Amino acid sequence: MQVLVEAPQHSGLTGPLDYLADQALPPGTLVRVPLGRRTVTGLVWDAPTADADAWAADQLKPVAEVLPDLPPLPPTWRQLVRFASAYYQRSLGEIAMMVLPPELRQLDAVQWGRRFKRLTKSLAQPPAATDAPEVLPDLTPEQQTVLDALAPSLAPGDAEPAPTTYLLWGSTGSGKTEVYLRQADRALQAGRQVLLMVPEINLTPQLEARVAARFAGRNIVSLHSGLTPAQRLRNWMLAHLGLADIVLGTRLAVFTPLPRLGLVVVDEEHDPSYKQQDGARYSARDLAVYRGQLEKVPVLLGSATPSLETWFNALPQAEGGAGRYQRLTMPSRVGQGAMPRVRRLDLSREPKPRPGQEAPPLAQALLDAIAERVARGEQSLVLLNRRGYAPVLQCSDCGWKSECPQCSAWRVFHKVDRTLRCHHCGLTDRVPRACPNCGNLDIHPLGRGTEKLEEQLAAALPDARVGRIDADVTKLKGALEDRLASVHAGEVDILVGTQMVAKGHDFRRITLVAAVNPDAALFASDFRAAERQFALLLQAAGRAGRDASVAQGSEMWVQTWHPDHPLYAALARYDYEFFAQQQLKERQMAGLPPYAHLAMLRAEGKTQEAAQGFLVEAAQLVEALAAELGGILLYPPVPTAVQRVANIERAQMLIEAESRPALQRLLARATDDWLALAHQHRPRGLVRWAVDVDPLAI
């Protein structure tokens, strides 16, 4: 029989291996098989082939054991794995094993038998019921209209099946979550399971609490990397056995086997966190759409700022779109609250600091506006998407800067623990007492991070209580929840934060949001930079004025050197539709997604020459094939934006195609040749290589 085992891309084992078994095992069964000197977990993939008898018994190793009491993984799950493997150019075994709970892959049959008995006892305990069901909020007319449009998607037996993919385009605070919960309730009432996906772990606890309150008495499980291996295995088993009613998870949850799946929700579908950035570089959002089509269940993509690919797919063909999705809109906020007024503050008109003086963190007008909010007992959010105290330390005499010796990047100064920390490779050192080059004692920070901004705001507004939320202060378990609780309790007047606090949080007391340094993304080389920046700023603006009683006076301040930039003009009107229209025109003229289809061949080597040498020969191998298929352009290899990380040089080659099928045919036929080429280049310094289909950044 054919069995999938975990095999990395460079091994060359892209498909199932053949083994002998003394009994017929259905596809999807988990087994333990010998692989070299080890015994590993494998997955029975397909039924025996017609020529199976041609193999001599002594040529194949036998299956060691079968994991008992575990139902086979269903055909639709295996088809999802097969599609992900083919589309993202990874081996079947790598995908199939990667998406299973790590602990499940490590247990033998005896260990699994014991674990399953313990799991069965815990699974037999029903969730605690409540005598006081949650009082449902009244629906807005827009919410009701959307739910009416979604109702046919769950009705069985229709002669014409309803569209399976919907874009719920609703402004921040419009009540998209309530729509998710009402539609989930419909699926649960029909005896189905619900998969609810969120982009980041830090958004999970807040939504989990709301889901738990709404569906008390139902089995609700979470699946994300913050769980212990035992918790993840238990929750996965609940889902696989059909005992979990709602699965709430991050991108890996898209592969959860759900025998009664009835609805898939992808919240904040535009978020780049849905795209895996290492290993198998899959997009959980795109796989969710495929899974909905495969299992014939509705998929609900929600966002206030949809990705341009999703927006294009939801545009009718008459308006130049693909017309693949049905668009549902909710432009108004719940309670008729108004979006904050956007004020663009022109930094070119601010007084210039004296020589040797540092510019203040915020313009005086903005500081006065925040002080006014503090005096009224309201809260303000100051957004700076750069953690640490300062991006770099510099010597005033010789010009030395805190460069990372292992990366082509600066080490960030963190004042709290007096360290220089590389955010790429993690190299950390104590701050030197003097310049390492010339011994000068005057080394000072350049630029500003959230840590410094917090300090400066506390000094400028001594009567205000300033708090900070970023990755540095939320490392410990429960730290994020504690800091969010203090904000909700009104114990913080000014919250300084990165993008972590710009989306998904319902801050009722915040009436002012300020973006400190938003210009950095306006002229970036990445073609998605403007799209990401607009989404971040609009999501941040949505944190203000969520309480209708104070919404009328809420404001969004943008400190910028380019107040007339079209991005800020569209933001001031909250006109995402106009912004998307202009961006799509630019993409079409430039031949960029969604009007073209991209793949990135990435290489890492001990030297830049080794990395680019592999890419040059890889391009030569497929030049004739690209010409044969037509409409495919191979760009010359170039170093990545951060060229060296942890003493490994990185380079990339962009492949652009007019047709997605043509791109997939080229990659499918080229991968084996590239694998053989990589083996030839390893002695020359090649470390690793990978194909990134539909890359987020170039």
In sequence order, what DSSP letters do the residues of 464-523 get, joined into one string? S-EEEESTTTS-STTHHHHHHHHHHTT--SEEEE-GGGSSS---SSEEEEEESSGGGGTT
Sign (positive or negative) of CA dihedral 528, 532, 533, 535: positive
Structure tokens at 429: 């050192």
110 has binding-site annotation: no
404 has binding-site annotation: yes
511 has binding-site annotation: no
Angle between helices 141-150 and 176-189 (to 10 degrees): 40
Residue 448 has φ and ψ, to the nearest 5°, of -145, 135
Proportion of the chain in helix, strand, coil states, percent, rounded to 5: 40, 20, 40
Residue 654 has φ and ψ, to the nearest 5°, of -90, 135
349 has binding-site annotation: no
Alpha carbon of 319 to those of 309, 315, 581, 585: distances in Å? 15, 6, 10, 12
435 has binding-site annotation: yes
395 has binding-site annotation: yes
Q: What is the widest separation between alpha-carbon atoms in the chain? A: 86
Confirm if 507 and 487 have CB atoms less than 8 A apart.
yes
Specify the 3-state DSSP secondary structure of 262.
Answer: strand
Structure tokens at 585: 């025109």
Specify the 3-state DSSP secondary structure of 30.
Answer: strand
**How would you write 125-180 as a 3-class SS string?**
CCCCCCCCCCCCCCCCHHHHHHHHHHHHHHCCCCCCCCCCEEEEEECCCCCHHHHH
In sequence order, what DSSP letters do the residues of 51-96 get, joined into one string? TGGGS-GGGSPBP-EE-TT-PPPPHHHHHHHHHHHHHTT--HHHHH
308 has binding-site annotation: no
* Residue 26: its H or E element: none
**Gyration radius of the chain over CA positions:** 27
17 has binding-site annotation: no
- Output the known binding site: 395, 398, 404, 407, 422, 425, 435, 438
Q: Which positions make up the binding site for Zn(2+)? A: 395, 398, 404, 407, 422, 425, 435, 438
